[in-house]
Amino acid sequence: MSSGLPLGVPKRQPETEHFWNATAQGRLLLPRCDDCDSVFWYPRGICPFCSSLRLSWVEASGRGRIYSWTWNTRGEGDFSGVGPYAIGYVELEEGPRLMTNFIDVEPSQLAVDLPVTVVFEDTGEGSSLLRFRPA
Ligand SMILES: [Zn+2]
């Protein structure tokens, strides 16, 4: 799947390797703390709520709702010359919020609480970027 948006290849870290490998298989994993049961974003090696190092992974549904959005008409860097595109936060069913691009959507459709679902865009480097489209 390709939205036509730039595909920055994620930098791999030991604590995110499993996450990125899963995205290449079309799976969205979220880190979960085995001590306080918090599910959080972004993947990292320590729980942001209780500092536990005992973490595991849970598979997310890929569904969520738009928490906030903006229609960007002037991209910079890799996004210069791309044309208008949507960027914002999605709140996943599991609770965490993550920044993303909304694709296959017209500006008039964008709204807080709009149901969206994940789309995996292959970087060609063994990972996929997470983007969301209306459900
Ligand atoms: Zn914790």
Q: How many A from CA of 55 to the centre of ligand 1?
A: 8
As a whole number of Å, the end-to-end CA separation of the chain is 16
Structure tokens that stand for 3 in this block: 């939205």
Q: How many A from CA of 70 to the centre of ligand 1?
A: 32
CA atoms within 13 A on the CB side of 78: 6
Q: How many A from CA of 36 to the centre of ligand 1?
A: 4
Domain boundaries, the chain: 17-134
Confidence of residue 80 (pLDDT cuts 50, 70, 90): confident
Q: How many A from CA of 19 to the centre of ligand 1?
A: 18
CATH class of 17-134: mainly beta
Neighbours of 94 (CB within 10 A): 18
* 15-20 LR contacts (CB < 8 Å, sep 24+): 15/43, 15/44, 15/45, 16/43, 16/44, 18/57, 19/43, 19/57, 20/126, 20/127
Q: How many A from CA of 54 to the centre of ligand 1?
A: 8
- Express each pLDDT in 8-51 by its tens digit: 888 888 999 999 999 999 999 999 999 999 999 999 999 999 99
Q: Residue 2 pLDDT > 80, yes or no?
A: no
Q: How many A from CA of 95 to the centre of ligand 1?
A: 15
- pTM, entire model: 0.92
Tokens 């459709």 locate to 109
Residue 6 is predicted with a pLDDT of 82
